[in-house]
């Protein structure tokens, strides 16, 4: 089995088709590399939504909900990296051939038919976010689903269960993120129990359980799993239990108002210039600055999980976090710059990977 990963291909779907008996060390390494890139792919669209919210709206429920989800996804990516390194794998993150591009499918063929774009917060964006997170068997709005993220992680958990001897505990990064939620710490995965707990966090923070929309590992009281939180924002109503026997939920609770946002347009394939949009010098400076910070972030993350010394790994992770915070300023500057077509929309970040400058 090839260990190549193609973010635009159907690697995850193909991995899921392999019989369980073939879920060996090579399969597991392939699957976890795909999982890392899949987690990475969710962050740019969610960050565009978050950054597009106006400054004075950052105490709104919607801002807090998306902010919590972004940090969940960051910890999920970290846990996926720890799963790969604990079995001797080496995460590949800073690679133009692997970094997700937009618009495009989710890596590995998850949720086929879904095209993920970069745009400001809107009903369209919220519908896209919830389609990314859709479970196999949601407790509300149960539509046809193909390979879900949760089903993929369940296959990974089963592979670990059948081959626990692969867990060596090598190159494990630790990051205390308790302030962002009960399950958000990036912890060392040195045993099957620890791996299983990590998979449980990733699955249930994103998709909830088969009986409840609640996030079992919340950052705040009443926090829902990602899918249901995005559906609440989309419908503009809280999801509440409307029947106990049988249990039934519906969007009939309190109103949730969408905040005022910067009008970021949808980034065309290849970026603004590639899509035929004129790019003035000041916009190009912001685009270049953003892409440099994003690319440095990915390089530092890769170096963190490749480092042999714990101190070096921690230092690289810290530098990655610095780059993450540095991305916000050019992103929001772009979102405040109107597109020249009179549409009322604005530019926004492209999340393009660029090679390190010599």
Indicate the average pLDDT of the chain. Answer: 90
Q: Which has more confidence, 6 or 34?
A: 34
pTM value is 0.92
Report the share of the chain in percent with pLDDT over 90: 70
Q: Which has more confidence, 215 or 201?
A: 201
User: Residue 222: what pLDDT?
Assistant: 77
Task: Give residue limits of the domains in the chain.
Answer: 11-270
Band (143; pLDDT cuts 50, 70, 90): low
User: Residue 20: what pLDDT?
Assistant: 84
Band (8; pLDDT cuts 50, 70, 90): very low
H or E segment to which residue 241 belongs: strand 240-244
Alpha carbon distance 74, 184 (integer Å): 9
**Are 188 and 209 a contacting pair, CB within 8 Å?**
no
CATH number of 11-270: 1.20.1260.10
Band (80; pLDDT cuts 50, 70, 90): very high
Neighbours of 59 (CB within 10 A): 8
Q: What mean pLDDT comes out for the span 220-235?
A: 89
Band (5; pLDDT cuts 50, 70, 90): very low
Q: How far out from the chain centre does Cα 324 lie?
A: 14
User: Residue 22: what pLDDT?
Assistant: 87
Can you give the three-state secondary structure of 254-309, one letter per residue? CECCCCCECCECCCCCCCCCCCCCCCCHHHHHHHHHHHHHHHHHHHHHHHHHHCCC
Residue 139 main-chain phi, psi, to 5 deg: -80, -5
User: Residue 213: what pLDDT?
Assistant: 87
Q: What mean pLDDT comes out for the span 89-94?
A: 96
- Long-range CB pairs of 138-144 (<8 Å, 24+ gap) are 138/207, 138/208, 138/213, 138/227, 138/228, 139/208, 139/210, 139/211, 139/212, 139/213, 139/247, 139/249, 140/213, 140/228, 140/231, 140/239, 140/249, 140/250, 140/251, 141/231
User: Residue 247: what pLDDT?
Assistant: 83
Q: What region, left, alpha or beta, does residue 344 occupy, with left being phi > 0 and alpha being psi -120 to 50 degrees?
A: left
User: Residue 208: what pLDDT?
Assistant: 73
In eight-state DSSP terms, residue 139 is S
């Amino acid at each position: 089995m090839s260990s190549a990963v193609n973010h635009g291909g159907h690697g995850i779907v193909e991995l899921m088709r392999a019989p369980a008996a073939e879920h060996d060390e090579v399969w597991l390494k392939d699957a976890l590399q795909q999982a890392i890139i899949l987690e990475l792919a969710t962050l740019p669209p969610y960050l565009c939504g978050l950054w597009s919210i106006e400054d004075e709206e950052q105490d709104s429920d919607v801002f807090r909900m998306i902010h919590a989800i972004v940090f969940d996804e960051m910890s999920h990516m970290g846990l996926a990296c720890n799963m790969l390194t604990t079995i001797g794998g080496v995460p590949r993150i800073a690679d133009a051939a692997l970094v997700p591009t937009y618009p495009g499918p989710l890596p590995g063929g998850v949720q086929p038919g879904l095209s993920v774009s970069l745009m400001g917060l809107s009903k369209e964006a919220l519908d896209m976010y919830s389609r990314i997170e859709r479970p196999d068997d949601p407790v509300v709005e149960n539509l046809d689903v193909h390979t879900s993220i949760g089903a993929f992680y369940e296959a990974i958990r089963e592979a670990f269960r059948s081959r626990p001897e692969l867990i060596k505990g090598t190159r494990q990064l630790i990051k205390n993120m308790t302030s962002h939620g009960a399950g958000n710490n990036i912890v060392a995965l040195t045993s099957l129990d620890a791996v299983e707990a990590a998979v449980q966090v990733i699955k249930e923070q994103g998709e909830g359980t088969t009986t409840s929309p609640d996030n079992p590992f919340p950052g705040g009281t009443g926090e829902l799993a990602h899918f249901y939180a995005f559906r609440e924002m989309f419908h503009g109503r809280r999801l509440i239990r409307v029947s106990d026997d049988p249990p039934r939920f519906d969007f009939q609770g309190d109103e949730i108002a969408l905040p005022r946002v910067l009008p970021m347009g949808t980034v065309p394939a290849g970026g603004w210039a590639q899509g035929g949009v004129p790019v003035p010098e000041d916009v190009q400076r912001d685009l270049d600055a953003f892409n440099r910070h994003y690319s440095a972030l990915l390089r530092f993350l890769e170096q963190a999980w490749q480092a042999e010394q714990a101190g070096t790994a921690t230092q690289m992770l810290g530098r990655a976090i610095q780059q993450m915070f540095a991305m916000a300023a050019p992103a929001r500057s772009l979102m405040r710059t109107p597109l020249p077509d009179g549409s009322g929309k604005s530019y926004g970040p492209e999340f393009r990977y660029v090679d390190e400058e010599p």
